[in-house]
Amino acid sequence: MLYAIIGEDRAGSLDQRLAARPAHLARLQALQADGRLVLAGPCPAVDSPDPGPAGFTGSLIVAEFASLADARAWADADPYVAAGVYEQVSVKPFKKVLPA
């Protein structure tokens, strides 16, 4: 089943985000290589694809996992969690409707 993982950044965590980004991306690339990643990306803090020092407010990942518990365990092990980037992480079942 698909799950939406929504991480909300802690204020002032841009430096930690940038430092942890290579490890975070490596985990996403592993999901992609397994054919389980639907989409992933950050939410810029300003209306720009490159927010510069404004940074980001969080991230969205939609990926396939065997269970909600597996999705939660994967999210809890994210380098952004360990680095203190995310203030909160939500994991919810997700039903893709479009595009078909």
Determine the pLDDT at residue 49: 92
Polymer length of the chain: 100
The whole-model pTM stands at 0.95
Q: Give CA–CA dist 40/63, Å, rounded.
A: 8
Determine the pLDDT at residue 34: 98
Buried b (16+ CB within 10 A) or exposed e, 20-47: beeebeebbeebeeeeebeebebeebee
45: which DSSP letter?
S
Per-residue model confidence as pLDDT tens for the chain (100 residues): 999 999 999 999 999 999 999 999 999 999 999 999 999 999 999 999 999 999 999 999 999 999 999 999 999 999 999 999 999 999 999 999 999 8
By C-alpha distance, which of 28, 24, 56 is closest to 43?
56
